[in-house]
Amino acid sequence: MEIKRIGVVGAGQMGNGIAHVMALAGYEVVLNDISQDALDDAVARIARNIDRQVARDMVSGDDRDAAMARISTSLAIADTAATDLVIEAATEREDIKNKIFESLQPDLLPHTILTSNTSSISITRLASRTDRPERFMGFHFMNPVPVMQLVELIRGIATDQDTYDTCLAVVQRLGKTAASAEDFPAFIVNRILMPMINEAVYTLYEGVGNVTSIDMAMKLGTNHPMGPLELADFIGLDTCLAIMNVLHDGLADTKYRPCPLLTKYVEAGWLGRKTKRGFYDYRGETPVPTR
């Protein structure tokens, strides 16, 4: 099936990034959110980000204008449902995702493919709550979407080959690379990444090193572009904790037990960059370690 029109549910960091790359690739995009302010902010952010690409000669001015013209916004979930492909990019909570797919149901076209940008939740379980588990799969973009080259494609137990092939063709049209993952908790990237971040938090919790020394050790000692605590702040500590809980609950192995310090930061509302405080304090000109 040829995809022409794509609905994106959620205009946050991931949703606006997905809309950005889809519009540049020539797809018509309907971006949905429950907040008009969020939609307006998303369109403004997309425009700024594409302008940066134009300034770096990565995108032409004509392509920028054409991409922005392909993006429409709507508070009505029905507008998003009446598309060829829906990508749900809401917060990482299964109950919210289920409500979104339930609200999409009455207005879906017979051929519409449903996907979730979830980074850890069971695709099989999400699909089972819809009327089309064979046309449902995981479509997991990395953050920031316009920069990162990988997309994880996750098949649920019922996902058919046509659905996978169609989504793979979309990834290829974006100029990105697909990694095929089986439907187990946190898939590939976060199955490996989040325990590393969690272990870095344990290293801080146990006093083995402070924030600066832990991040410096991993950047200079293993050539990582960003230290694990800095990366956790970038991802969002609430998201890191949610994924660790999915791993711990889904695999029942104590090695995935979330560090109590990570839980404490989330309980304090120190979620990283988006709240200006996490393992670093971002309220000044230069980030300052909080421990």
Active site residues: 119, 140, 152, 190
CA 133 to chain centre: 21
Closest CA to 125 of 101, 108, 141: 101
Work out the angle at residue 166's Cα, subtended by the Cα atoms of residues 34 and 61, and round it to the nearest 5 degrees: 65
Query: For residue 81, what are the contacts with CB-CB under 8 A and spacing of at least 6?
Result: 7, 104, 105, 106, 107, 108, 109, 112
Name the DSSP letter for residue 277: B
147 class by beta-carbon count within 10 Å (0-12 exposed, 13-18 middle, 19+ buried): exposed
Strands 5-9 and 28-32: parallel
Q: How far apart are CA 84 and CA 81, in angstroms?
A: 8
Structure tokens at 194: 């989040």
Sheet containing 5-9: order of strands: 71-74, 28-32, 5-9, 85-88, 113-116, 136-141, 150-155, 177-181
Q: How far apart are CA 70 and CA 8, in angstroms?
A: 13
Structure tokens at 50: 């594409």
**Alpha-carbon dihedral sign for residues 24, 115, 98, 5:** positive
